[in-house]
Amino acid sequence: MSSYTFWNNKGGVGKSFLCFVAASEYAHRHLDTDVYVIDLCPQANVSETLLGGYPKSPKALNSLLAKTPRATVAGYLEARLNSPFRMINEVSPYLCEPKEYNPNIPENLRLICGDNLLEIISEAIRQTSQLSIPIDSWKQVLTWVQDLTVALRQHSGDRNTLFLIDCNPSFAIYTQLALVAASGVIVPFTADESSRRALENVFALLYGITDSQTEVYAKISFAKRAKEEGLSIPKLHSFVNNRMTLYDGKPSKAFEAVNKTIKETMDNRHKHHRHIFANPKESPSNSFIEIPDYHSACVFASHTGTPLHEIKPGPKKIADERVQLNPKPLDRYREALEQFVDCL
């Protein structure tokens, strides 16, 4: 069983879209594998795309929210709140098949849908984790989504499984649940200084690796408590340099300059903390996955819920606007994203 979270402490870097690409392309390639997407972002962006994009997803989402219990991740977490320290083995009420709403999606792709209620119940989840009895209440609550993956694995029987978990940029309790459920973290970023700072926060928030200004907080960090209570934390699996700016087919000088500082930051962390990387022997900068910017293809895929393998060049219509997808940039974009999927 493989499981990955998509997380960075910065919004707008393409986490949800890359999760959609990874899920739909992996499922398309591996029909013998059940691919589960667990949407732990209150905005439910990856759910919207899987359910058919902008035109179709509102109706689909409303139908899932209207079920009793809610056929969403919040529905599952509400059930856990009602019985915090008992695992739920029957999780099919919270599961949906996107292909029922979006015929472009492979049959072997499953979804635990996102839900805005997640933000509302997060404080109740946090308070439950702070109960004094049982003494391991924090650890038990933090493994709720991990329990969900175990139940879904049982649901798949003898079939292979892959779990992809989309996260909110914040380090809220529901993001912590997502991270604990994964074996690896996929970190998308863009080549700008705010992304570099957000990557530093990934090290501080998830692993308690701080600098001189914040080292006092390491004593009360998530990582310290996780270590004390025997809770596993995922390794950094891959870094995806998303929306790479090209000029005459090559990365622009401005892009390269900022990208260099990000690589230096990652390699420095690797030099002193190899144990948090999935591949401790190789410097992260040597394996950065670089995705060129092709806004038109990204918008078309997101707006219509069309997987990468279904996109063809030519004119497209998005919200009454005509968009042209040209073969050469589309092929370059597809090739880069396929390289990313190969890493899973």
Arithmetic mean of pLDDT, 317-341 = 90
Residue 183 in this model has a pLDDT that exceeds 90: yes
Phi, psi angle pair for 311, to nearest 5°? -80, 130
With 0-12 / 13-18 / 19 or more C-beta atoms within 10 angstroms meaning exposed / middle / buried, residue 48 is buried
Q: Which long-range contacts (CB under 8 A, 24 or more apart) does 171-176 make?
A: 171/9, 171/201, 171/205, 171/206, 171/222, 172/119, 172/122, 173/122, 173/125, 173/126, 173/129, 174/40, 174/42, 174/77, 174/118, 174/122, 174/125, 175/7, 175/40, 176/142, 176/222
Q: Which residue has the higher pLDDT, 215 or 81?
A: 81
Q: What is the reported pLDDT for 258?
A: 82
* Mean pLDDT on 184-203: 91
CATH 3.90.320.10 fits 2-342, yes or no: no
In the chain, where the domains are located = 2-342
| Residue-level pLDDT at 243 | 74
Out of 113-117, 153-157, 210-214, pick the least confident. 210-214
Give pLDDT, residue 250: 58
For 17-72, write each residue's pLDDT tens digit. Answer: 999 999 999 999 999 999 999 999 999 999 999 999 988 999 999 999 999 999 99
- Name the β-bridge partners of 215: none
User: Does pTM surpass 0.75?
Assistant: yes
